[in-house]
Chain A
Amino acid sequence: MLILKPLYKGYIKVAPNIIVTLLTLLLFSCGATTQMSDNNSGSNNFATLTWDSPTINADGTSLNDLAGYKIYYWINGKSPTVIDVGCTPCSSSCPGTAQPQTCSYTIRNLTSGTYYFAVTAYDADGNESDYSNTGYKMIP
């Protein structure tokens, strides 16, 4: 039996097992909080992009030499970062004659901020399409 002295007015008798329980709960909650915040930053510092592959050239002719994709992403007011992701996100329709397909690519380890994204396609001669529509994600 431990006897704890509060700041004022007498004493409170507390069983040691209660102290242990309280300490355990305190440690657990600290650990859990830490774990949760790690999970939060770990799960939210990426952006997964999906898009539909083009099947034609700008002039409406069949696109038969699709060679890959570039992803542009930027924070407002900053120059874009460009990643040439090749055909990786759309392996069943690239390279070669493009087929309708939904493509997907994840960019990881983004630091805090609001990021904007656009995707372009390019052919075997290096001709690059216009931007897709722009998407965005806020990284906490």
Chain B
Amino acid sequence: MKKYRKNNFIVSIFKVFLIILSFSIFSIRAHAWTITADFELGTIGQEAQGPSGFTDALSQTFYSSENSHSGSKSAKVIFPKDSDCWPVCGGTIVYHTPLFHDDEIWVREYVYFPPDFDFTSHPVFKILRTARILTIDNSPRGILSILSDDQGRIVLSNEITPYQPTTNVYFSRGKWQSIELYVKLSNISPVMRIWKDGILVIEDRDHKTMLEITDIVDKEFGTYIFTYWNGGVPKTQYAFIDDVEVTTDKPLNVDCKGNPMIGPLNWDRAKACGSPAPPQNLTVK
């Protein structure tokens, strides 16, 4: 009888533990969050981290008033010649929570590359890395990213499957542009989308963004912007970053096809969607 009581007590404790555990997991997953970085509160010339900047700005990334998309400041990133950029160029944003199977995340940044910006790389320059997938025992599986090829074309990168298609859309030089990545984390119904200035560049639904239902997204890795240049930077140059937003809360804007996205600031869907697609393959002689 005593033994039965003891077993019953252990089972009860275990049940309570399970209820608390599932409730806490539910709480974490139910809590959508948004992080923004408009770089307005920093001191010019200081590393661009803090309440309105990156969680961690790398060593050559500073608050600047030279060029901004909105407000008066942005983050200026120096790319030293021959550097692989780590831990020199760009910055990172740590997430409020880990992400789990079936979760969604949107990351939008404004980027300015000067007219003579050289994208030469061997083979890619990493623009935006937004989800580092871990197994249940914290082994890394890979990262979901936007890259640039050596011509400045937008590349989707899924290291989980892996899958790395190059698009025929180029990063703009000499103007601010909105670049956005969306990921639905799933091994059943995965989605990755990239937008440039609110226009869908590529969508992939065919490659898993998580391999197992127990995989998680590394909260501490979060998002990396401009942090690695394969093959070394071809010349010393710079770029600007502004108006970064990371959210797990479904945005209100939709693209031309009705997909939710953070979108460009002051997004005018009717105007943007009714506009011609840009001319392609410009050459100058």
In angstroms, Cα B199 to Cα A131, docked, is 12
> Interface readout for A123-137 with B: 1 if CB under 8 Å, 0 if not?
101011111111111
Q: Is the CB of A53 within 8 A of B279?
A: yes
Q: A58-B256, A58-B272, A60-B256 are in contact. Are A136 and B278 (CB under 8 A)?
A: no
Q: Is the CB of B279 within 8 A of A59?
A: no
Which residues of chain A have C-beta atoms less than 8 A from B114's C-beta? 76
Q: Residue of A at shortest CB range from B175?
A: A131
Q: Is B266 at the interface (CB under 8 A from chain A)?
A: no
Q: A58-B256, A58-B272 are in contact. Are A129 and B116 (CB under 8 A)?
A: no
In angstroms, Cα B252 to Cα A63, docked, is 27
Q: Residue of B at shortest CB range from A53?
A: B279
* Segment at the interface with A among B17-25, B156-164, B166-174, B241-249: B166-174
Q: Is the CB of A132 within 8 A of B174?
A: no
Q: A121-B278, A129-B278, A130-B196 are in contact. Are A135 and B283 (CB under 8 A)?
A: yes
Q: Is the CB of B256 within 8 A of A117?
A: no
Q: Is the CB of A132 within 8 A of B280?
A: yes
> Interface readout for A100-114 with B: 1 if CB under 8 Å, 0 if not?
000100000000001
Q: Is the CB of B279 within 8 A of A121?
A: yes
Specify which of A47, A53, A69, A131 is in contact with B284 (CB 8 Å cutoff).
A47
In angstroms, Cα B272 to Cα A99, docked, is 21
Q: A120-B278, A130-B278 are in contact. Are A51 and B116 (CB under 8 A)?
A: no
Q: Is the CB of B170 within 8 A of A133?
A: yes
Specify which of A59, A118, A119, A125 is in contact with B273 (CB 8 Å cutoff).
A59
> Interface readout for B183-212 with A: 1 if CB under 8 Å, 0 if not?
000000000000011010000000000000
Q: Is the CB of A134 within 8 A of B282?
A: yes
In angstroms, Cα B283 to Cα A137, docked, is 10
Q: Is the CB of B285 within 8 A of A57?
A: no
Greatest chain A CB density within 10 A among B173, B271, B279, B284 is at: B279
Q: Is the CB of A59 within 8 A of B257?
A: yes
Chain B residues with a Cβ closer than 8 Å to the other chain, count: 29
Q: A49-B283, A118-B282, A137-B285 are in contact. Are A54 and B277 (CB under 8 A)?
A: yes
In angstroms, Cα B277 to Cα A133, docked, is 12
A-B contact count (CB 8 A): 129
In angstroms, Cα B237 to Cα A76, docked, is 13
Q: Residue of B at shortest CB range from A75?
A: B115
Chain A residues with a Cβ closer than 8 Å to the other chain, count: 43
Q: Is the CB of A133 within 8 A of B273?
A: no
In angstroms, Cα B66 to Cα A68, docked, is 34
In angstroms, Cα B197 to Cα A100, docked, is 24
From 249 to 285 in chain B, residues with beta carbon under 8 angstroms from any chain A beta carbon are 256-257, 271-285
Which residues of chain A have C-beta atoms less than 8 A from B271's C-beta? 127
Q: Is the CB of B283 within 8 A of A51?
A: yes
In angstroms, Cα B162 to Cα A111, docked, is 49
Q: Is B152 at the interface (CB under 8 A from chain A)?
A: yes
Specify which of B173, B197, B281 is in contact with A116 (CB 8 Å cutoff).
B173
Q: Would you list the 3 A-B pairs with minimal beta carbon distance, nearest first?
A: A59-B256, A135-B284, A133-B170
**Can you list 7 A-B contacts with CB-CB less than 8 angstroms, sorted by A residue number?**
A48-B285, A51-B280, A117-B284, A123-B276, A125-B274, A133-B280, A135-B283
Residues of chain B having any CB pair with chain A under 8 Å: 114-116, 152, 170, 172-175, 196-197, 199, 256-257, 271-285
With A56-B276, A114-B116, A122-B275 given, name 14 new contacts (CB 8 A).
A48-B284, A57-B273, A58-B272, A60-B257, A63-B277, A116-B116, A121-B279, A128-B276, A130-B197, A132-B170, A132-B280, A134-B170, A135-B283, A137-B284
